[in-house]
Amino acid sequence: MKKFNKIFTIIVFVFLYAPIVLLIIASFSGGRGLNDLRDFSFHQYRELFRDRGLMQSMLNSLLIAVLSSLIATVLGTMAAVGIHSMGKKMRSVVMSVTNIPMINPDIVTGISLALLFVFFGRMFRINNIMGVFTILIAHITFNLPYVILSVMPKLRQLNKHLTEAALDLGCPPAKAFFKVVLPEIMPSIISGGLMAFTMSLDDFVISYFVSGATFETLPVQIYTYTKKPLPGRIYALFAVLFTLILLVMLLMNLLQLRETQRRNRKLVMPTNDL
Amino acid sequence: MKKLGCLLVLLLMLGLVTPLSATADDTVAVPLTGEYINVYNWGQYIADGSDGSIDLNAEFTRRTGIKVNYSTYESNEAMYTRLKNGGSSYDVIIPSDYMIGRLIAEDMLLPLDFNNIPNYQYVDEEFKNRSYDPENRYSVPYTWGTVGIIYNTKYVTKPVDSWSILWDQDYAGKILMFGNPRDAFGIAQLLLGIDVNTADKDQLQQAAEKLKEQRSVVQQYVMDQSFSQMEQEESWIVPYYAGDFLTMQANNDNLAFAFPKEGFNLFIDAMCIPASAQNKKAAEMYINFMCDPETSAMNMEFLGYSTPLSEAKQYMSAELVESEIAYPSAEILARGRTFETLPDETIRYMDELWSTTVRAGEGVSLVVYVLIAVGIGALAVFLFIRKKKRNNY
């Protein structure tokens, strides 16, 4: 049985990672396509960094990912704190409402947002409303639930007497929040933010509908590559993106590790715990 | 935490700074005027600086000081939807012939001021006043090309001069076919001697029957997968674009191209200015720039499609110019047929025939869905009964 488990795990990992490994190998190949691997070099990477259109949309994607995840993290944390202090009934209602965008199919979110933007464009006579701001707004919208969902459980775990104690000792409410509550929930805020970052970098469907003439994200651009076979530098680009996501994931795990270590230390020193 | 912050700030700065420096390295040039145009083109359909080509958009900015916001679409229909929905305004679009006809009919294009496009004089007469734009008021040709039969001479030994080779039993399982209804119906119609722009339902029905007949020999219905399929010799025959044949042939010497005797599709992609344009003058400058013979030559060397400007040929490699495939003789060209805009109803009817007659029964059949549903139902009932039994104890 144990042996079977081992084999099964290996099979799962092969299925999960073989395509990515193949892609990375292909990104170093000088041949054409995946069935023709030879002349390994960094040629595709040089071509990639020379392709201004691709680099520009990659930077666009990164910019949107960073900005939208930052804004969504701040807004989401604020929302989570607010929702946490609601009554039980109200809280469950609001939580289900915030979860809807996450469960909603992307295509519905995308088209309805596009309709809304066009409607506003017509109302305020903005000819060219689709652009960096519409994409940003759309990304913040679908990022929010992930941040809230990540912060809420941590808030629930939080010892509510901690804040009360701080207030008792004369700390103003705002300061109590920043000094006592925020540091406690920080790890989950960060993991929520990183989650939002990857979701934003990943998104195609919603971006496709809300992008316009002046601003295009990477997945939207690659989707239009139908005139010619996929150039090899795209493989290089995917390899770069994969490495980037991998780094973000590593960072996330590292932070979590540090958090558990800190908590373990706390258990040793009971004076820290109220 | 601090490190993370630094990383984010760094990324942010990278994103903000690079677009500026990207335009700054083209130094000797007209200074930026602050004007910009929004160009909407097919993906990978302009020389963009890769593979040793010139970056034409950057070159336009360098010469005029007008910034180009370049975005791309994957099909005429996607472009049409985007234009129709609104929300973004474009100054230059490059649709194909039949789509131009539709855009004109729906009042979605602006008439061009040809005083601002002096290079229009270089456009060859046979590409002016085509049926999609009879008085040539709205469009200036960008590229043109033909659809013919690409085949592998190693395996296909019969003479290839007719579309009927795509129905040949001897090559069953090695034939690729267009994955979109318009092109596929076009081939069947040419073979049957029917007008490719017919709206007659009986004729469409006939074409659909013909395509249905072909199903048993077709390996796959494809679009751009045909590149790898043909180059790797996994398929032997495919109807495809002449411009793309040149790309394929560079990777496999055994490939050859034939213009069928029944006629073939000749397409023209042309530059237009949509009604939502905000900088028409600059858009016309852009069109004029693309019609410059030297520019067009550099563009076509990259694309592999044919230029509508004979003047451009002197700047291109002799090999490409003399190619009978990229620039067939007038005699062959006379057999070319251009797709025109079909009425909505005909397009719908064609799509319907395509999915119900030609490709019917592909994908998962209803029986499988029913079986899955029954299976899930049975499982649910089983679990429910078991739970109930357990609760009874």
Q: What is the pLDDT of residues B329-372, one digit of tens each?
A: 989 988 999 988 888 899 899 989 988 877 776 666 778 888 99
As a whole number, mean pLDDT of residues B87-102 equals: 92
pLDDT-derived band at B15 (thresholds 50, 70, 90) equals very low
Do β-strands B67-73 and B36-42 pair in parallel, antiparallel, or remain unpaired? Answer: parallel
Note the pLDDT of residue B3.
Answer: 53
Q: Are residues B230 and B187 in the same domain?
A: yes
Query: How many domains does chain A fold into?
Result: 1
**Among A69-78, B261-270, B317-326, which is the least confidently predicted range?**
B317-326
Task: Give me the amino acid identity at A106.
Answer: D
Contacts of B83 in chain A (CB under 8 A): none
Nearest to A224 among B73, B89, B278 (CB): B73
Note the pLDDT of residue A224.
Answer: 87
Nearest to B11 among A50, A66, A216 (CB): A66
According to DSSP, residue B193 is labeled T
Q: Are residues B162 and B194 in the same domain?
A: yes
Burial B143-176 (b: 16+ CB within 10 A, else e): bbbbbbbbbbeeebeeebebbebbbbeebeebbb
Task: Give me the amino acid identity at B196.
Answer: V
Nearest to B86 among A121, A224, A228 (CB): A121
Enclosing H/E stretch for B113: none
Q: How far apart are CA A61 and CA A68, in angstroms?
A: 10
Contacts of A70 in chain B (CB under 8 A): 8
Residue A260 lies in a domain: no
A 238-257 → B contacts, CB under 8 A: 251
Residue A182 lies in a domain: yes
Query: How many domains does chain B fold into?
Result: 2
As a whole number, mean pLDDT of residues B223-244 equals: 87
Residue A188 lies in a domain: yes
Q: For chain A, what percent of residues have pLDDT higher than 70? A: 95
Note the pLDDT of residue A49.
Answer: 86
Residue B375 lies in a domain: no
Tokens of A265: 């230390």
- Using a CB–CB cutoff of 8 Å, tell me whether A129 touches chain B: yes
Q: Are residues B200 and B94 in the same domain?
A: no
Tokens of A255: 């932070």
β-bridge partners, B68: B37
Q: How far apart are CA B347 and CA B131, in angstroms?
A: 19
Flag if A226 and B74 touch (Cβ within 8 Å).
Answer: yes
Q: For chain B, what percent of residues have pLDDT higher than 90? A: 59
Phi-psi map region of B263: left, alpha, beta (phi>0 left; psi -120 to 50 alpha): left
Q: Are residues B82 and B208 in the same domain?
A: no
As a whole number, mean pLDDT of residues B99-110 equals: 93
Q: Are residues B208 and B351 in the same domain?
A: yes
pLDDT-derived band at A44 (thresholds 50, 70, 90) equals confident
Contacts of B44 in chain A (CB under 8 A): 224-228, 231
Flag if B88 and A212 touch (Cβ within 8 Å).
Answer: yes
- Using a CB–CB cutoff of 8 Å, tell me whether B9 touches chain A: no
Q: Are residues B180 and B252 in the same domain?
A: yes
Q: Are residues B301 and B247 in the same domain?
A: no
B 62-81 → A contacts, CB under 8 A: 69-75
* Chain centre distance of CA A170: 39
Whether pLDDT at B20 is above 60: no
Best mutation target among A228, A244, A249, A259 (most B Cβ atoms within 10 Å) is A228
- Using a CB–CB cutoff of 8 Å, tell me whether A32 touches chain B: yes
CATH of the domain at A122: 1.10.3720.10
Query: Which has more confidence, B188 or A272?
Result: B188
Query: Which has more confidence, A232 or A20?
Result: A20
- Using a CB–CB cutoff of 8 Å, tell me whether A89 touches chain B: no
A 144-163 → B contacts, CB under 8 A: none
Q: How far apart are CA A224 and CA B75, in angstroms?
A: 8
Domain limits at A217? 63-234
Residue B213 lies in a domain: yes
B265 within 8 A of B185, measured Cβ to Cβ: no
Q: How far apart are CA B79 and CA B94, in angstroms?
A: 9
As a whole number, mean pLDDT of residues B202-218 equals: 92
Flag if A62 and B11 touch (Cβ within 8 Å).
Answer: yes
Domain limits at B191? 145-266+344-358
Scanning the structure block, which residue is given the tokens 């004089």? B121
- The CA-based angle A99-A102-A108, given to 5 degrees, is 120
Contacts of B8 in chain A (CB under 8 A): 66, 70
pLDDT-derived band at B232 (thresholds 50, 70, 90) equals confident
Contacts of B300 in chain A (CB under 8 A): none
- Using a CB–CB cutoff of 8 Å, tell me whether A175 touches chain B: no
Residue B162 lies in a domain: yes
Q: pLDDT by residue (tens digit) across A165-217?
A: 999 999 999 999 999 999 889 989 998 999 999 999 989 999 999 998 889 99
Whether pLDDT at B25 is above 70: no
CATH of the domain at B101: 3.40.190.10
Q: Are residues B352 and B222 in the same domain?
A: yes
According to DSSP, residue B108 is labeled -
Q: Are residues B301 and B350 in the same domain?
A: no
- The CA-based angle A260-A264-A269, given to 5 degrees, is 145
pLDDT-derived band at B252 (thresholds 50, 70, 90) equals confident
Nearest to B278 among A60, A66, A127 (CB): A127
User: How far does the CA of residue B2 sit from the closest CA of chain A (Å)?
Assistant: 12
Note the pLDDT of residue B283.
Answer: 96
Best mutation target among B44, B61, B183, B231 (most A Cβ atoms within 10 Å) is B44
Flag if B247 and A216 touch (Cβ within 8 Å).
Answer: no
Q: In this predicted complex, what is the ipTM?
A: 0.81
Q: Are residues B207 and B278 in the same domain?
A: no
- Using a CB–CB cutoff of 8 Å, tell me whether A70 touches chain B: yes
Best mutation target among A59, A116, A130, A227 (most B Cβ atoms within 10 Å) is A227
Flag if B51 and A55 touch (Cβ within 8 Å).
Answer: no
Q: Are residues B252 and B287 in the same domain?
A: no
Q: Are residues B152 and B221 in the same domain?
A: yes
Whether pLDDT at B26 is above 70: no
Contacts of B231 in chain A (CB under 8 A): 32-33
Q: pLDDT by residue (tens digit) across B126-138?
A: 899 988 999 999 9
